[in-house]
Amino acid sequence: MTHDDPMVFAPQWDRSLGERVCTHLHQALAALEEREFEDGEHKIRPLVGVRDRDVYVLSSLQAGEHHGVDAKLCRMLFLLGALRDAGAARITAVVPYLCYARKDRRTKPRDPVTTRYVACLFEAVGIDRLVTVDVHNLVAFQNASRVPTEHLEARWLLARHLVPRVRQHDLVVVSPDIGGVKRAVRFRESLEHLLERPIGSGFVEKHRSAGRVSGGALVGSVRGRVVILVDDLVSSGTTLVRAARACHDAGATDVHAVATHGLFVGDASRVLDVDVLTSLTVTDTVPPFRLETHALSLEVDVLEVAPLLAESIRRLHVGGSIVELVERELQIQSRA
């Protein structure tokens, strides 16, 4: 690593992802010290000089096998603050999965708007930029943050993977709820470009209140067609299964689901083990350690996002445009 290279750090829980990103950057992951104290407090610091360097801290902020969401967020903030105090010239937080992104508005009296509070915490420790992948509500995320943000999408990665499986079929892209319609439209456009033909669209009605989900009416024609359900994340799996069942009841021949983040909380393995879903594809922004894939009847594929993250770091380091990543993917598909 030379002084002109970007410096990439990753806490222990995301060391594997950090190393894979650095492999694509042809450099080593920068060293950290992480110490636990007897009273539960924690220390994290860089073991290499960062003065006047362009620094990137990579970490997904979901509950893990050994650390909860709040612990990860707090430790990442401490590391970012330590890097600022150590004289880094520019600090970018690369957060493939951003915690609390779903709590972006008040739905009940006196509700917290936690998305905004998290953005304030990142701003308070002095970061220069925040990078995420397929955040739940892009407008809310961008409006909450007063530091520059970059939003990466996995739709080309997911669409390219799905093409061989669905190329010969009449397709409909469906959002499992009305809030995800724009996301499904962008995915449909990518798939149309790859397949060079028009694809149908639709969405499933869903209402959520106090943790209870209701609704299930399907808008769109799916009879005799293969459905692709598109969402940003899979949590318990109930939304996907509800939507898949609605599509099957309306005459769909097969239902494939794609989502960027696979949280798989609670009884997700049991919920997803149904005959209305043919396949599920997610990325490794969140390691699928909770999902019992061996016990599922459907096919589950986990795609790697390290190349996308590495290319975004490379572009940011040289002052390039992240938006052009989409155009680059488009050109790759055109040549394929």
Burial 162-190 (b: 16+ CB within 10 A, else e): beebbeebebbbbbbbeebbebbebbbeb
103 catalytically annotated = no
The closest of 126, 143, 147 to 135, measured between CA atoms, is 143
Provide the token pair at 326.
Answer: 């989409």
Find out whether 220 and 203 touch, Cβ atoms under 8 Å. yes
Rg of the chain, C-alpha, whole Å: 21
Distance CA 111, CA 100 (A): 13
Distance CA 81, CA 248 (A): 51
Distance CA 312, CA 45 (A): 24
The closest of 314, 319, 323, 7 to 150, measured between CA atoms, is 323
Distances (CA, A) of 233 to 148, 151, 158, 257: 24, 15, 13, 11
Name the active-site residue from 72, 103, 182, 206. Answer: 206
Q: How far is CA 119 from the centre of its chain?
A: 17
Count other C-beta atoms under 10 Å from residue 324's C-beta.
13
Distance CA 151, CA 142 (A): 9
The closest of 92, 116, 144, 80 to 315, measured between CA atoms, is 92
Q: Which residues are known catalytic residues? A: 206
